[in-house]
Amino acid sequence: DDPLPMLDQPMSGEETNALRMGFDWAATEPWPEVDPDGRPALFYALILVASEDDRRNLDLAEIHHWSLPLFPEERARWDGQVGVVAPVGDGYGAFEFAILPGAAFNVLREAALEGEVVFEVITRREPPPGYTHPDGSLRYDALLRGGFRYDPHVGIEAGRSQPPAIGFRVEPFIGEIIALVLALDRDARDAVEDAAGDIDHAFRDLVPVRLRVDVRNTDPAFNPPSPAAPFAMRRAWPSALDGFRRGFQLPLEHVQLVYGVGLGHHRVWSDVRGEATVEIGRDADYLVCLRMENHAAFISELWESVQVCDFNSGRVVVNVPAETTVSVTVADWRVNILAQMTDAWRYARERLGHTPRRPARVLVGFLADIFGSFNGNRAFALCGGFGTLQALEFEALIAGVSGVIAATPLPPDWIAVAQIGVQVFARTALGFDIMFPGGGGVNATISRGVPTHEYGHFLTCEMAHAIDSWKLSESWIDVVNTSLGTGQAPGVENLYVIEAIADYFASQVVGGVNYFDPPNSTFATSLEYCEPGALCMDENFGGPALPAAGSFRNQLAAMSTLLFDVFDGRAGFVSDTAGPGAACEAGVNASLEFAPDVTPPPGPPDESIALPSQAFFEVFQNWAAASNTWNHRNIVRALVRTMRDHGYSDIQICQVLALHSDTGRCEDVPGGDLEVADFPPARPLITASPVRPVDAVRWDWRDVSVTATGFEVDFGAEGEAPARSAVAYAREASFEADALSPNTTYRFQVRTVNGEVASGWATDRVTTLPERVSVAPTLTPLRGGLDVDWDAVAADRYEVEWSKRSGACDDADPCAGDARCVRGLCETTRRLPAPGPGLTLEGLEAGVDHTVRIIALNGDGDAVDPSPPAVGVPLAPEVIFVSGAGDDAQSGEEGAPVRTLATAIERARDGAQIIRIVGDIGMQQGPFVLPEGVALDGAGATLQVRGYAPTGTCRGAGFNPTRRPTFAAIQSEGETLRVSNLSVAFLTYDTDPADACLVGFSSTDGSLVLDNVFVTHTEYGAAGGARCRAAAQATGGDLEIRGSTLAGVYSLVGAANLRAVGVCMADGRSVTVTDSRLVGYEQPNFNAPFPAVAAVGLDVNAVTTVRISRADLLASPQGTASGGEH
């Protein structure tokens, strides 16, 4: 998934710069023209390439050269590596490694001295030892034994297959020089071939090898789910190369493969299948490089194309006589760009009937990143290779780019920038057609769609240039000024037009669009992909689907989908694979066709226009014939003329234009200019009808006629003369009527009007409901539910609608699940049928408001006046469960316990009768006040409680006359508190209230009943400040203890008055103890004196009855401590 690494360039920028700056033709001497063996003298040379002309001159002169060193000893530093080589030299030019005849050098030298410089620098390079004669010329025998064959970079056939770039000129005298050099190079080649026949084994034992370029996806949208390795890149449109079927692997055709064996390096061009046959010595190691250039695109960081090279040694041809196939498998963003642009070139040639006359020049690397700083590192097309951007209007742009280059830290090799001046580099960059900044990440460079989209821009320029180069120059200046914000931009209209053309082109080739977000699509690396036949490719962007009226995206969507509809077919596409990319690749029908609009409500059939794809070029010809600006009107006018040329009538053209107008009228599309007045319109399409209304109705309809000027409506009761009214034109129109009679049938008709002619009627009927009825519910709270009742009325049946509101909500914190936010609260609504009055709603959340309405239904299910809402609050369950493993977010029911006693008490206020502790739970932070009538049951569990709240005043013990404030951990807010089957430890700390009495349970106003309860205090920390403690205290109310054990304190650090039970009561109250054990101090500390330790401590000044039977009462089980009263 990662891009291939950048490898060291052959010569550093510092070395390149030193050679370039130190060279002077006037200081050179002639080279020998004949070697000691009497053959043409050959020399190892470096030739500077600093322009497109230099590259072409090397090829035209058939000079043997390569951007990598020619001798294997020099290439040893790359052994075992696979990566990308991008020669940029010192930023001004890079040296090519060449074998040059001395005679050819002398011709070039003589011309340079006379002022006709073909190459700025040619200097000799020292080859490894053993390859030269004493005069420095190369030894033929050493070259041939090393595997050398004279193999010019561009042979006769290859040279003819790649025409010179537009704008490339060879001056007459320069042409003569190149012709002389070419003749000398061919003489040298003949001499090498003759020498090969004299040297044994020079070319013996060769075997045929078929090299196949296997291109893999970098775009994840075109991979199957979780592929084990990058998936093969497959063609998404049906090509003649694939037998008019999509889904075949995309071939990288006519790309140059350089394979090296020893000293020899040879070049071949892949065929239309992406394959090439070569001959390699049996059992020989070899390397393979893939140059990023062909007839479709030239990808470079400066003047030389980027190369992807595999220097892995040990790749051996098997020892068999038959041809061996070797796959060069590569997944890299640079190959992705070249492969996708090659695919786009093939589509233009086969489907559009236009073959681009030159490759697109694509800039990547440092200079491309400079341009990316203008627009957020997005790929974009300048079409600079046509010479357009060298116009005077772009001096401001050149100055702006120059400023950015000057302010940007330069890569280490770009030494020449400071020497030559940034404006030279700005002009160099402006000679490229497409910029791809920021390569290699998850961005446009790994996308299949973005390179296709950008090639669509290049194709736009190329076709316009082919028709009229002046028109391109004039029109593209406006486009670039607008997109880059320089000069006086005329607006965004030209931008959305050219973007729509590129989007249309990309959709045809890979099924992707750049600027709008259709349904059923998948976003991947800056493009939206979808199945070519899916509705997302045929969206008309009418009505509410459009963004803000007049917006850039709105207009772009209208223009791009207009192109879809003008060129689409009628049959739908059926996919047999899953996934957006795969759907594009695995089609089953013979052409890329789009489905008719079948989105609800049902619309008219697809418009009838389907231009052949070759008419695309005709649209450009018609545009150039009448305009020189890329605006909406001019493109529509060109489309209209093209459709007329193919025999379509104005009304057919109007139908397709109207689909891409906000108003739905073709007259409102700029550039339409059609003759459709008084053409009979189609009847409207009713899209919404009333269903069993009460006393008001509304019909909605849509105009599908495209020629309508208005509507007429007839409406009235069945059997009566209808009233006719006119309705103003709108694409989506409606009619309303009210004050209708109950239980009456009404007839509605609407038709379309165009001047003096009208369509047929679209008709509908509706019957109103009988007299209105209304019912009001009565709610009775139940445990976990509500009982709903209402009076019967004249209705067929009823529905009960209820909703629960809970939790605050807003845009930042929306409701979960199917709840919706209503006035800041989450609301969940349900509806249940009811055959008659009376229904019980169960499973409702206790303590939460529930709103209930009754809806009476008649006829076909028409609602009649929902009742006013009634609000009820369901009661809590009878038992609230608490568990250490619970969750306070749960209901508290059995199986869904809460975690804390505090939550259980809060839930119990809604009507529960028991709080049950299930299993031992840790410390609970009190104090706790239980609601009236709620019991606490432990089922044998253990509970720890900390925290105390005021519960009145009382003396600390029977012998202490001072009355002190009393605090309780658990008490009741009502008449009775019942606690059963529970072991409770009240934990006291030195931070608890000082100089006070701390008690566990307290009966403040009513009765306290403890049944099978074990209660104790345990003190922690330093000596506490409390003056007394009690396990339970009757503070103003009755106290009953049955089968329980109460200890005032289990362990104690400080001194205090201790008792198991404290009695501090009003007149007429009583204490009853049965079958229990009461201990004032469970574990005495004999070193600590206590004012009083008692099983029962009385602090009464009233008529009080204390009954104790079958009970053990102990101040302390182990005796008394000295100094205390017990």
Q: Which of 11-25, 462-476, 566-580, 701-715 has the lowest mean pLDDT?
A: 566-580
Q: Which of 6-10, 178-182, 218-222, 1096-1100 has the lowest mean pLDDT?
A: 178-182
**Ranges of H-type helices in 865-994:** 901-908
Q: Which of 358-362, 793-797, 940-944 has the lowest mean pLDDT?
A: 793-797
Beta strands in 311-436 (DSSP E): 324-330, 360-363, 380-381, 434-435
Beta strands in 177-291 (DSSP E): 206-215, 256-261, 264-269, 275-281, 287-291
Q: Which of 482-486, 630-634, 980-984 has the lowest mean pLDDT?
A: 482-486
- pLDDT for 547 equals 43
Instruction: Delimit the domains of the chain by residue range.
Output: 1-204, 215-327+350-358, 361-491, 685-767, 778-872, 876-919, 922-1114
Mean pLDDT of the chain: 76
Q: 685-767 in CATH: which number? A: 2.60.40.10
Tracing tokens 């362990």 back to the chain, one arrives at 1051
Which pair of structure tokens corresponds to residue 415?
């030494």
Q: Which residues face 169 on adjacent strands?
A: none
Rounded distance between C-alpha atoms, residue 151 and residue 158, angstroms: 12
Chain centroid to Cα 46, Å, comes to: 49
- pLDDT for 711 equals 92
- pLDDT for 734 equals 92
Query: Do you know the residue count of the chain?
Result: 1126
Which tops the pLDDT comparison, 461 or 439? 461
Whether 448 has a pLDDT exceeding 90, the answer reads no
- pLDDT for 845 equals 76
- pLDDT for 532 equals 45
- pLDDT for 488 equals 41
Backbone φ and ψ of 782, nearest 5°: -125, 170
How are beta strands 434-435 and 297-300 bridged, if at all?
unpaired
Whether 193 has a pLDDT exceeding 60, the answer reads yes
Rounded distance between C-alpha atoms, residue 1069 and residue 1103, angstroms: 7
Whether 241 has a pLDDT exceeding 70, the answer reads yes
> CB burial class (10 A; 0-12, 13-18, 19+) of residue 1027?
buried
Tracing tokens 């990662």 back to the chain, one arrives at 2
Q: How far, in Å, are 248, 294, 896, 1013 from residue 256 at the CA level?
A: 22, 7, 72, 94
Rounded distance between C-alpha atoms, residue 86 and residue 94, angstroms: 10
Whether 468 has a pLDDT exceeding 80, the answer reads yes
Percentage of residues of the chain with pLDDT beyond 90: 14
Query: What angle, 0 to 180 degrees and rounded to 10, lies between the N-to-C axes of helices 449-467 and 333-350?
Result: 40
Q: Which of 166-175, 242-251, 464-473, 883-892 has the lowest mean pLDDT?
A: 166-175
Would you say the CATH fold of 778-872 matches that of 685-767? yes
Chain centroid to Cα 803, Å, comes to: 36
Which tops the pLDDT comparison, 543 or 5? 5
Kindly report, residue by residue over 585-607, the tens digit of the pLDDT. 333 233 333 333 333 333 444 57
Which tops the pLDDT comparison, 1123 or 991? 991
Q: How far, in Å, are 5, 419, 484 from residue 409 at the CA level?
A: 22, 15, 22
- pLDDT for 205 equals 64
- pLDDT for 545 equals 38
Provide the 10 A C-beta neighbour count for residue 156. Answer: 10
Whether 573 has a pLDDT exceeding 50, the answer reads no
Query: What angle, 0 to 180 degrees and rounded to 10, lies between the N-to-C axes of helices 632-645 and 552-567?
Result: 10
Q: Which of 217-221, 614-618, 682-686 has the lowest mean pLDDT?
A: 217-221
Assess contact for 506 and 453: CB atoms under 8 A: yes
Task: Give mean pLDDT, residues 348-372.
Answer: 87
Which tops the pLDDT comparison, 464 or 220? 464
Task: Give mean pLDDT, residues 1093-1119.
Answer: 80
Whether 35 has a pLDDT exceeding 50, the answer reads yes
Whether 717 has a pLDDT exceeding 60, the answer reads yes
Instruction: Compute the half-sphere exposure of residue 71: CA atoms within 13 Å on the CB side of its CA.
Output: 17
Rounded distance between C-alpha atoms, residue 746 and residue 690, angstroms: 11
Torsion on CA atoms 1116, 1117, 1123, 1126, rounded to nearest 10:
40
778-872 CATH, one of 3.20.80.10, 3.40.30.10, 1.20.1050.140, 2.60.40.10? 2.60.40.10
Whether 157 has a pLDDT exceeding 50, the answer reads no
Q: Which of 73-87, 236-250, 267-281, 1005-1019 has the lowest mean pLDDT?
A: 236-250
Cis amide leading into 601 (omega within 30): yes
Of 907, 908, 882, 912, residue with least CA distance to 897: 882
Assess contact for 779 and 826: CB atoms under 8 A: no
Whether 60 has a pLDDT exceeding 60, the answer reads yes
- pLDDT for 141 equals 85
DSSP per-residue letters across 1046-1111 = EEEEEE-SS--EEEEEEEE--TTEEEEEES-EEEEESS--TTS--SBEEEEEE---S-EEEEEES-
> How much is the pTM?
0.61
Task: Give mean pLDDT, residues 468-496.
Answer: 67
- pLDDT for 535 equals 47
Whether 1049 has a pLDDT exceeding 70, the answer reads yes
Rounded distance between C-alpha atoms, residue 514 and residue 512, angstroms: 7
Assess contact for 271 and 252: CB atoms under 8 A: no
Which pair of structure tokens corresponds to residue 643?
């459709």
pLDDT grade for 224, boundaries at 50, 70 and 90? low
pLDDT grade for 322, boundaries at 50, 70 and 90? low
Of 29, 70, 62, 26, residue with least CA distance to 46: 70
- pLDDT for 512 equals 66
Task: Give mean pLDDT, residues 1104-1123.
Answer: 75
**Ranges of H-type helices in 575-658:** 580-585, 615-626, 632-645, 650-658
- pLDDT for 931 equals 85
Task: Give mean pLDDT, residues 723-736.
Answer: 88
Kindly report, residue by residue over 638-690, the tens digit of the pLDDT. 999 999 999 888 888 888 888 777 666 777 777 777 877 667 777 888 888 88
pLDDT grade for 228, boundaries at 50, 70 and 90? low
- pLDDT for 525 equals 47
Amino acid of residue 619:
V
